Structure 1
């Protein structure tokens, strides 16, 4: 009887005002880009993140992006996920969530976190999807003084681009396959090992079939990442070293089999890879209130796709200087040296960005 009374008290208490919690967070960005061969332009965007705690175990997360482009405002649903805490080591989530196998997308893509005004090649809006629509199971397992992060997920598979006005897109993946044309399911996950608090090494994979149901081919996406952050008294500052590389494999497929599109039949597989290496240093131990807020950044990123319909590889060297106004507000300047082969035009760029997280 006592247990029943306590249970009833708990249920009644949960109906009282103030037992749920709501948090509005997000970030805003304004930027300028001057890229060789293109008209310079300003841009702005705003991301609103809604966090709702309904009970000690049940949560909801939503993120909406508002961006001004092509003379109009676009609204995108980035995240819409309900999560339930099963125990201290396991959480289940369903809905639309950031791609768990891509470290940069899940943890570094936010403009006030990303060290440079633009995103690296391949790992963002390139070889790997930005988000998944499905369900995930994730958690952290302590192993002595170390930790092992894990996540597994099932989601809609990407679509395969088999007809397009742009021949270079042939054989690429359509990650916005919300209606799941083809009826395929993607299965994937990531494990991250944290031997010391400053270091994490991870590996992610996603496998699925793509293409028409009766002519489906295999798609394998893989990613490895290395992330080291250290506050070094010897170097009198904060060191950030990050690297990530991704691979995309699409099996042999016959495009335009009857020749109606004017280029087939054409059979090929689509294998691409790329990633980035980034080093940042901020002299946080310098006894000067202005100098300690500056941060130097260097990034090398690359996308290998010469032997695909795109027809060229691209690599970039980026040098940046940031000034941290507050811990979540930063001003960025960067210059990007671009190099393409295969006869494609190089496009160096000057970039500026102001980003504020809240």
Structure 2
């Protein structure tokens, strides 16, 4: 990435699935990665689930954010089509995981079906005294100790009119900030996902799009001026998302060509009118080669554009991912 030294990295995600009874299940995931010259271990998922009936399952613990389609379904390295993650939807405006309880299931609607999930969890924290001024007014994920004592309520609904298409909407509402000066926080997400094995085009088409919105109500930061920049008050409204298309010619009668996959993605994060001070948009072109159904080698070039005086950071990236 321009402006940075080139580097290699590696990570390992261990997933544990345990069936205790016909209705009781446990899922856990640990991530091992390098950080500041040392190996760190993060608990990504630790959830117990109970199957109430054919249409309803309850889960408690730490689980991937149900209102964020990309995080819950697409973020895994061997599933994600490019070496990096899109702006806004991952490690951006929405939490990657929730700590609480969820109720989810599928409702048949004739030839179609409706997926649903509702959850209660610890609310995000509000950053009011950051080391980096640009983080002022951002949300702090995850709020494991539940600073402020607030509870978030949210959910996601996905409509599947045909097997190849799902259209979804997610929302989360909570209070954030100190208990006696809390303000409203609303997170929203809209997603569109279309996957088709096309005989006409002799391959697999994969089209995905998601846009998210984050609203933090009017809050007065550094009200007595002790931090040297206040009093400063504003609403923190940001939004962003991505559109991505991938094509793999799986029906071509050539063992090399049919394992190639071309990818193009446009992603954007709008935050000019916040302490960050710039918007960012990127166009990424990628080419993948699938060694097995869950092993892929990726190469991509990313064109980055920031306004507001920030430096653009184009990047060349490669990644090998193995899922098992």
Instruction: Write the deviation string for residues 88-108 of structure 1: whole angstroms up to 9, x where unpaired.
Output: 000000000000000000000
Does residue 124 of the first structure (1) align with residue 90 of the second (2)? yes
Aligned position for 1:30: none
The alpha carbon displacement at 1:175 in A equals: 1.1
> What are the ranges of 5 or more consecutive residues in structure 2 without an aligned counterpart?
none
Q: Take 2:157 and 2:96, find their aligned partners in 1: how far apart are those partners?
A: 18
Aligned position for 2:128: 162
Q: Take 2:37 and 2:23, find their aligned partners in 1: how far apart are those partners?
A: 43
Does residue 94 of the first structure (1) align with residue 57 of the second (2)? no
Instruction: Write the deviation string for residues 179-202 of structure 1: whole angstroms up to 9, x where unpaired.
Output: 001000000000000000000000
Instruction: Write the deviation string for residues 41-71 of structure 1: whole angstroms up to 9, x where unpaired.
Output: 1000000000000000000000000001221
Aligned position for 2:4: 38
The alpha carbon displacement at 1:115 in A equals: 0.0
Does residue 349 of the first structure (1) align with residue 321 of the second (2)? no
Counterpart selection for 2:289 from 316, 320, 323: 323
Does residue 208 of the first structure (1) align with residue 142 of the second (2)? no
Q: Is the 8 A contact 1:43 1:69 kept in 2?
A: no
Q: Is the 8 A contact 2:98 2:142 kept in 1?
A: no
Aligned residues: 324
Counterpart selection for 1:280 from 235, 243, 246: 246
Instruction: Write the deviation string for residues 203-245 of structure 1: whole angstroms up to 9, x where unpaired.
Output: 0000000000000000000000000000000000000000000
Q: Take 2:119 and 2:87, find their aligned partners in 1: how far apart are those partners?
A: 24
The alpha carbon displacement at 1:176 in A equals: 1.9
Aligned position for 1:144: 110
Q: Is the 8 A contact 1:92 1:136 kept in 2?
A: yes
> What are the ranges of 5 or more consecutive residues in structure 1 without an aligned counterpart?
1-34
Aligned position for 2:40: 74
Q: Which of the pair has the greater relative contact order for Cα pairs under 8 Å at 6+ separation?
A: 1
SS at match of 2:258: helix
**TM-score, structure 2 length as denominator?**
1.00
The alpha carbon displacement at 1:259 in A equals: 0.2
Runs of 4+ in 1 over 4 A off after TM superposition: none
Alignment of 1:1-358 (within 5 A): 35-358=1-324
Q: Take 2:196 and 2:52, find their aligned partners in 1: how far apart are those partners?
A: 33
Structure number with larger C-alpha Rg: 1
Q: Take 1:150 and 1:219, find their aligned partners in 2: how far apart are those partners?
A: 22
